[in-house]
Amino acid sequence: MKAHQTVTRVVLWIGIVSLVASLGCEAMVGRIVKSAANRQASSAAQATLEDDALHVFLCGTGSPLPDADSAAACTLVVAGGKVYVVDVGPGSQEVAQIAGYPTRAVAGIFLTHFHSDHIGELGEWAMQSWANGRTGPLNVYGPEGVDRVVRGFKEAYALDDGYRIAHHSAEVMPPGATEWLAHSVPYTNGPGTKILEDGDLVVTAFAVDHEPIEPAVGYRFDYKGRSVVVSGDTDKSTNLELNAKGADLLIHEVLIKSVMTQVSHAMGERGSSRLQKITLDVTDYHTSPNEAAQSANAAGVQTLVFTHLVPPLPGAIRKWLFMRDVDQGDVDVMLGEDGMTFRLPPGSDVIEID
């Protein structure tokens, strides 16, 4: 296919996806149907709290661009009877609730950086986990600046907190859960810094390269000999490779730079100089699928999962475009999608994927 044909088709796909996303009721019908079909999965999600394995659930594999199939950035980890969430992009809370994850057990929300597609649903995660039975404060971890983000969302939800306590009673909606604790996490451009230890779970933070956006970090979860690393947003990062050493699972952001460059040219030809600039700007602080595979091989991880998929593309073309230039080497590489689950039992190197 000639380059200009590719450009035309990509622009058309993005236009179609945006149109569908703007028709909220259409998307909602799809999600309700999916929700009915997912009742069995829901009880499995609840059961993760009782299971001794490390669990990972993709609650958002999209980006800031409208995407009818994917919520924005979100990865959920269940370990030792508690739920941890890395990034809370718009739509992610709904994905987790529909899948049946016990958000009452949210013990920590970890923000990688403060772009809106990573923090936009912090208020809903707080409110919905409270409505689902969370009784203690909400712990929010992030690099410096997290206290400001938490303060802002907390203030925006203050009236709503009051309504719900007054209407449903303090017994049903305990006021203690409306306390949000911001934890500014230390990290370096070097070995990861331990920021949380809870039973057998250790969480470390490390710098990534989302220049000019600073701060930006990734997180690693180690639990009973199994491990998952979440990249956050980053260009190809040697520090991520250092901190992902030997991990079982690497959840890595990707952007197809060649396609986004073509989209930018097309926007220019169409006379949309603002979109031409924006779509070109984003190519310089993300990782291409093959670069992510190179990092995964350098780190010696077992399985690499693509997330934060840019651009948003429908169905079969999505897999083809994100995977076509990938030299997977010794690593299992797969395209993430919302709702995908991974179970990593201790004392084994097995990863059960659903």
Least Å distance, CB 113 to Zn ion, is 6
117 versus 222: smaller Cβ distance to Zn ion: 117
The CA distance from 148 to 125, in Å, is 17
- Judge whether 11 and 263 are in contact, CB under 8 Å: yes
Q: How far is the CB of 159 from Zn ion (least distance, A)?
A: 29
Contact residues for Zn ion (CB under 5 A)? 115, 117, 233
- Considering beta carbons, is residue 209 or 248 the nearer one to Zn ion? 209
User: Which residues are identified as catalytic?
Assistant: 117
CB of 142 to Zn ion, least distance (A): 13
CA distance 86 to 125: 12
Residue 276 or residue 307: which is nearer to Zn ion going by CB?
307
Separation between Cα atoms, residue 99 and residue 44, nearest integer Å: 9
Nearest approach, Cβ of 17 to Zn ion (angstroms)? 17
8 Å CB contact between 254 and 288: yes
Residue closer to Zn ion by CB (options 61, 303) is 61
> Which residue, chain included where needed, has tokens 């049946």?
100
> Can you give the three-state secondary structure of 164-226, one letter per residue?
HHHHHCCCCCCHHHHCEEEEECCCCCCCCEEEEEECCEEEEEEECCCCCCCCCEEEEEEECCE
314: cis peptide before it, omega within 30°? Answer: no
